[in-house]
């Protein structure tokens, strides 16, 4: 059965907005997604009826807030098929989760001369934290190349792994190329070489089911705001034995057992990595967003989004002269990056905006990938479960119109 997209759209109040007098066509979902009513209600209810700080209070409100926050953690563990909710650390998002691992795992097991492997298609969030670690610890960063379709060169990747490799940090889905990387295989190769793997799931979790145990990923990170949940909340999944051995990332309340001026002992998982008051309202809203997706079902979501991507790709290729599409991987999800002739993406983006069409233009926080492609940036349309073929039609027709101005 197909996804009932018209019905779904009524769940998202922002989609009925007009932009410059046109119905909004929101194709910037890889940057952030819109929020359904149930998520908005969860935030509202949280502040209206059970707003009290978690974990520390004896009073009813605090207990209710704590229960809701910890229930959300358990729901997220189930969503990822983690062994235990102790392996779910709340962060502010993907970026903070990667920084946490870069710092803490880096302290735990990286020494001068060690190597970390990333890839040519990483977002800056999965490059710069490793560069900071590399500077601090005098370790070497190695980069897996990609082929002309925008797929990882797995042969080169395998030949890079050696006894000095400590970690492979790799995106599940490229935010520019849309490539879905073969994570299970990547993990297998890394583990055979004795290395751990961090997977950046920022562009994956909203589009298909993720099972961290099936992937055997050591760390898996994602942001709430890209999966129909609020900004300011994200998740780090980590295998228990690793998290237990890693030192805290930040110090403060919540992450301690006992503090004296002489010595502090740290809390158990997951709290050891959650210094300070957590975003206990957003955690519940994130769990609500996941429930919303699961209620629709992955089969329907993935089939619908793949259809949109294929339809948009075909129309773009067939009807726009001199269009160049970046990312032609066989396994692809969610995003369509392109350039038309030598027209600057910014100029096209501004003109499409005036017709109500929201696309992203620029380097998409992936400057090393842009350098490799020999371009400054691209236009990027990115799809969500509430987008429609009719919106793709509006976009293609508008693109044809604005191109005639150049």
**Is there binding between residue 282 and ligand PLP (CB under 6 A)?**
no
Q: Indicate the residue among 223 and 387 with the shorter CB distance to ligand PLP.
A: 223
- Closest approach, Cβ 101 to ligand PLP, in A, equals 13
**Is there binding between residue 93 and ligand PLP (CB under 6 A)?**
yes
Q: Tokens 């995003």 appear where?
A: 335
Give the pairing type, strands 115-119 and 140-144: parallel
- Closest approach, Cβ 375 to ligand PLP, in A, equals 18
Q: Indicate the residue among 171 and 387 with the shorter CB distance to ligand PLP.
A: 171
Task: Considering only the stretches 10-18, 20-28, 123-131, 277-285, report the one whose residues sit in contact with ligand PLP under the rule CB under 6 A.
Answer: 123-131
Q: What secondary structure letter does DSSP report for 126? A: G
x-or-dash pattern for ligand PLP, window 182-211, by CB under 6 A?
------------------x-xx--------
**Is there binding between residue 387 and ligand PLP (CB under 6 A)?**
no
Task: Considering only the stretches 57-65, 82-90, 92-100, 267-275, report the one whose residues sit in contact with ligand PLP under the rule CB under 6 A.
Answer: 92-100
Cα angle 196, 205, 166; round to 5: 10
Asked if 231 and 224 count as a contact pair (C-beta separation under 8 A), the reply is yes
x-or-dash pattern for ligand PLP, window 34-73, by CB under 6 A?
----------------------------------------
Q: Indicate the residue among 165 and 175 with the shorter CB distance to ligand PLP.
A: 175
How many other C-beta atoms are found inside a 10 Å radius of the C-beta of residue 160? 18
User: Can you tell me which of 171, 179, 282, 382 binds ligand PLP, judged by CB under 6 A?
Assistant: 171
For residues 203 and 334, what is the distance between their CA atoms, to the nearest angstrom?
8
Task: Considering only the stretches 10-18, 63-71, 88-96, 322-330, report the one whose residues sit in contact with ligand PLP under the rule CB under 6 A.
Answer: 88-96
Q: What secondary structure letter does DSSP report for 332? A: B
Six-digit token string for 198: 């961090």
- Helical axes 298-319 vs 280-296, angle rounded to 10°: 80
CB contact set of 219 (below 8 Å; sequence gap of 6+): 97, 101, 105, 196, 197, 198, 199, 236, 237, 238, 239, 242
Any idea of the CA torsion for 99, 185, 174, 105, to the nearest 10 degrees? 0
Residue-wise over 59-96: b if at least 16 C-beta within 10 A, else e? eeebebbbebbbebbebbbebbebeebbbbbbbbbbbb
Q: Indicate the residue among 34 and 94 with the shorter CB distance to ligand PLP.
A: 94
Q: Which residues are catalytic?
A: 365
**Is there binding between residue 33 and ligand PLP (CB under 6 A)?**
no
- Closest approach, Cβ 342 to ligand PLP, in A, equals 27
**Is there binding between residue 125 and ligand PLP (CB under 6 A)?**
yes
Q: Indicate the residue among 199 and 398 with the shorter CB distance to ligand PLP.
A: 199
Q: How far is CA 82 from CA 63, 67, 293, in A?
A: 25, 20, 18
What residue ranges bind ligand PLP (CB under 6 A)?
93-95, 123, 125-126, 171, 175, 200, 202-203, 223
């Amino acid at each position: 059965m197909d996804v009932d997209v018209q019905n779904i759209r009524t769940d998202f109040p922002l989609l009925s907005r007009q932009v410059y007098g046109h119905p909004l066509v929101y194709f910037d979902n890889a940057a952030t997604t819109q929020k359904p009513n149930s998520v908005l209600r969860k935030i509202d209810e949280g502040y209206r009826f059970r707003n009290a700080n978690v974990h520390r209070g004896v009073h009813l409100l605090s207990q209710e807030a704590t229960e809701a926050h910890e229930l959300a953690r358990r729901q997220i563990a189930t969503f990822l098929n983690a062994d235990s909710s102790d392996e779910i650390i709340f962060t502010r998002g993907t970026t903070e989760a990667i920084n946490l691992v870069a710092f803490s795992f880096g302290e735990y097991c990286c020494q001068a001369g060690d190597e970390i492997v990333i890839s040519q298609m990483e977002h800056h969030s999965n490059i710069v934290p490793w560069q900071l670690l590399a500077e601090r610890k005098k370790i070497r960063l190695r980069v897996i190349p990609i082929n002309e379709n925008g797929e990882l060169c797995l042969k080169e990747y395998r030949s890079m792994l050696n006894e000095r490799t400590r970690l492979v940090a790799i995106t599940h889905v490229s935010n520019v190329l849309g490539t879905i990387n073969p994570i299970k295989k990547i993990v297998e190769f890394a583990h055979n070489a004795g290395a751990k793997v961090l997977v950046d799931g920022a562009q994956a979790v909203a589009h298909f089911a993720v099972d961290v145990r099936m992937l055997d990923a050591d760390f898996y990170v994602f942001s709430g705001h890209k999966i129909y949940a609020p900004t300011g909340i994200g998740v780090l999944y980590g295998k228990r034995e690793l998290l237990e051995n890693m030192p805290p990332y930040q110090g403060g309340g919540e992450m301690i057992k006992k503090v004296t001026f002489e010595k502090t002992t740290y809390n158990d998982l997951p709290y050891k990595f959650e210094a300070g008051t957590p975003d206990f309202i957003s955690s519940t809203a994130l769990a609500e967003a996941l429930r919303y997706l699961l209620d629709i079902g992955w089969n329907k979501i993935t089939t619908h989004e793949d259809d949109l991507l294929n339809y948009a790709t075909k129309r773009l290729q067939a009807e726009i002269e001199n269009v160049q599409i970046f990312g032609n991987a066989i396994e692809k999800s969610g995003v369509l990056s392109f350039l038309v002739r030598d027209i600057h993406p910014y100029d096209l983006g501004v003109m499409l905006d005036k017709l109500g069409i929201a696309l992203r233009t620029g380097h998409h926080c992936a400057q090393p990938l842009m350098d490799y492609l020999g371009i400054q940036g691209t236009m990027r349309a990115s799809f969500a479960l509430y987008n429609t073929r009719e919106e793709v039609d509006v976009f293609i027709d508008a693109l044809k119109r604005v191109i005639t101005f150049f």
